[in-house]
Every structure is written in structure tokens, then in C-alpha cells.
Amino acid sequence: MLERGLRKRAGALLFEGVFEGLTRLGKLHPMAKPDRHGVQVLRDIPYATGPGRRRDHLLDVYRPQGTREGEGLPVVLYIHGGAFRMLSKDSHWIMGLSFARRGLLVFNINYRLAPEHPYPAAAVDASNALRWVLDNARAYGGDTDKLIIAGESAGANLACVTTIACCYERPEPWARALFDRGVTPRAALPACGILQVSDTQRFARRRPLPRWLTDRLTAPTNHYLGAADADQPGGLELADPLCVIEKGEEPARPLPPFFLPVGTRDPLLDDTRRMAAALQALSVDAEAIYYPGELHAFHAMIFRPAARKCWLDTWRFLGRVMPETVELAREREHLLRRSPVRMMLSRR
């Protein structure tokens, strides 16, 4: 047992170190500088107070340079991944930059991490962050009637949870507080999500997996739900947004269109397949795209052709369900072409 625990801890530290190292290395690239893309970044803005470290309740704002109050830009709430127990808004700077350089206003958030803060801490924080965005987006140039909720991996789970809280009347106080705001997202973008945390052993049951991978896949159940209180209102239901949608209950407000990208070699692939099917059974516009041979969170590696295709598919989807984003993107392309900097994040 001790050996297994040490192995899991070592694997988690290695995974986190590699990802954090890659993001720090990426920031050294000249094209990683926000001003090269006409983007302004406002860092470490508090969105809530309460239990946890101060940095747990901070967000960064990414917006086109020159954005004015009340300008009416589409708003993106971005929720980072990391198995509910690691990484941050700082490790996911590329996501904020990618959306903002297309003319969107991005709020890239931190949240409390497990196991110190089990479910529903992360979901509560994501909900509180969205309520803060609803109150403050206009001051930063946004229009919350054009709201997009996005995230990857664990962040995709939380993106689905906040979308559900906007559209379903739930018993959880934090979810009800968000529902009472009366706002429905225009689009949800949960990428390569872990959408049912309560039974991560199912991935190993489906096919044999290496021990190190099984450790990584089962860690969210142990860390996020291990000390969670099942007697709280709503129980642990919203740790599994996939299961909530699979119930087939009609929402009080229409669910928005969903874009669900995932690689075919992602161990979490089945969750995306199931979510797409469950949403379509509710007559929700759910577009799932499966990228052959790609691994988990492949779209973060923007230097790779499949990642660039995923981003282009994201822009195409947003252009279909939110036509105003197309004109914004055209305006941004025109402005950027006037500079000597070659565009990297939306290379055609």
C-alpha cells in the first residue's frame, strides 16, 4: 500500500512538473508575448473571498488592446484542467491568449484544488467566478448575453457543471444562486473532459491500461471525492455532470450548443462520446469531433497540425452558433496583418 501511494505521488509530481515546465518554456517564445497579438492581460484580480489560499480565488483577464468599458465583446469563462488537484490559470495562459486574439474577452480562473478542498469546492468557485463575471464583465468591455463557458479535462467537467447550474433548477445552494441570475450561455466548449468522476475505474475495465495511467485516471475519484460530504444538498451528483445529462430530464432553460473535441487515443474518450449522445437525446446542438491518434489535451500543443485544426474547428463552431464572432475575428485578422508579426495561433 505504501509503495502504491509513493508511486502515485511520484507520478503526479512528474506529470505536474512536465506540464508546468512546458508552459514556462512556451512563455519564452517571442510569439507568446500578448502584445505581439494585440492582447492586454490584467492579472490576479480577486473574484471571491472565503476558505483557501488567496490565489485560489484570482482570475486573469485577456482582452484585445484598446477595449473600452461597455464595448460588448463576447465573454469567455475559461476553467483550467489538472485532475482537480494541480495546475492553474498561469499554466493555461495559451487558452486565454488564443481566445482573446480573436476578439473575445476572457476570464481565466483559479479555483481551490483537491485533496485539500474536495468536491464541491472547485464547482463552488467556478460558479462564484461566473457570478462575478456577470457583475463585472461590462467594465472590462464584455457582454454577458454573449457568454461562452469553456474548459478542458477537469475544467471541462466544471464547464459542464456551471452550464447545468445555469439551465437546471438544482438543490445545491451555489448552483441555485447561479440559476437565479437568469443567464444562459450561448455556447459550451468542454474539451477532452473527465465527466463522471465517481467511477474512474471504468476506464481500466474497458481495456487493459498501464499501471501509471490507471493511477492518473483514478486519482480524481480519490482526491476530489475522497473526503466529500455525500449528505450535502444534491449529494455528489454534480461531480458527474455526464450522469446528470444522461438522466434525460428537460432543463428549465434550454441548454446551449456544445462543442466537444477529443483525441481518439485519449483515455477519457468515452466520456465525450456519452455526453454527445446524451445531449443529442435532449435535442441539444452537440458537435463532437474526434481527432485520430491524438492524446489527452492535445489542442494545448498549438505547434502541432491537429491542435491547429482543433482550434480552427472551434472558431468554425463559434461562427455557426454565434455569428458575431466571425466579424470580430475578421476585424482582428485585418489589424494583425498590418503588423510585421506572423500569426501563430490561427494559422491557415
CATH assignment of the domain containing 287: 3.40.50.1820
Phi, psi of 75 (to 5 degrees): -110, 135
End-to-end CA distance of the chain: 51
Task: Enumerate residues 6+ apart whose C-beta is below 8 A from 13.
Answer: none
Strand pairing report for 73-79 and 39-46: unpaired
DSSP string over 94-162: HHHHHHHTTT-EEEEE----TTTS-TTHHHHHHHHHHHHHHHHGGGGTEEEEEEEEEEETHHHHHHHHH
**H/E stretch holding 215:** helix 211-225
The reported pLDDT for the residue numbered 342 is 43
Helix (H, G, I), strand (E, B) or coil at 344: coil
The reported pLDDT for the residue numbered 212 is 78
Q: Dig out the grid coordinates for 210 from the structure.
A: 498501464
| 133 domain-assigned | yes
| 260 domain-assigned | yes
Q: Is the dihedral of CA 304, 308, 311, 313 positive or negative?
A: negative
| 345 domain-assigned | no
Rounded to whole angstroms, how far apart are CA atoms 209 and 203? 8
User: Which residue's entry shows cell 452550464?
Assistant: 163
| 343 domain-assigned | no
The reported pLDDT for the residue numbered 340 is 40
* Amino acid, single-letter form, for residue 119: Y
| 78 domain-assigned | yes
The reported pLDDT for the residue numbered 215 is 81
Phi, psi of 145 (to 5 degrees): -75, -10
Helix (H, G, I), strand (E, B) or coil at 318: helix
Task: Enumerate residues 6+ apart whose C-beta is below 8 A from 119.
Answer: 84, 197, 224, 225, 228, 236, 238, 239
| 183 domain-assigned | yes
The residue among 69, 90, 66 whose CA lies nearest residue 78 is 90
How many domains does the chain contain in total? 1
Rounded to whole angstroms, how far apart are CA atoms 228 and 120? 7
pLDDT in tens, 85-103: 999 999 999 999 999 999 9
The reported pLDDT for the residue numbered 15 is 52
Residue ranges of the chain with pLDDT lower than 70? 1-25, 28, 30, 337-348
| 348 domain-assigned | no
| 342 domain-assigned | no
Neighbours of 181 (CB within 10 A): 15
CB 234 within 8 A of CB 195: no
222: containing domain: 2-337
pLDDT in tens, 207-218: 777 887 888 888
